[in-house]
Structure 1
Amino acid sequence: MLKNLKDALETKHVTYIQVSKLLNCRPATVSDKINGKTKFSFDEAFQIQGVFFPEYDIKYLFDPSNKEPQPV
Structure 2
Amino acid sequence: MLRTLKAEMVRHNVKAKELAELLDVRVATIYDKLNGHYDFSLTEAIKIKRYFFPNYEIEYLFEKVEDRSA
Is the TM-score greater than 0.5? yes
How many residue pairs are counted as aligned between the two chains? 66
1:44 and 2:44 correspond: yes
Q: CA RMSD in A?
A: 1.1
Distance 1:18 1:51 in 2: 10
Q: How high is the sequence identity, in percent, across the aligned residues?
A: 41
User: Deviation at 1:65?
Assistant: 3.2
For structure 2, which runs of at least 5 residues remain unmatched after alignment?
none
Which has the bigger relative contact order, CA under 8 A and spacing at least 6? 2
Runs of at least 4 residues off by over 2 Å? none
Counting only pairs closer than 5 Å after superposition, residues 13-52 of structure 1 correspond to structure 2 as 13-52=13-52
Distance 1:25 1:41 in 2: 13
For structure 1, which runs of at least 5 residues remain unmatched after alignment?
67-72
Partner of 2:55: 55
Q: TM-score, normalised by structure 1?
A: 0.89
Partner of 1:64: 64
Distance 2:65 2:57 in 1: 15
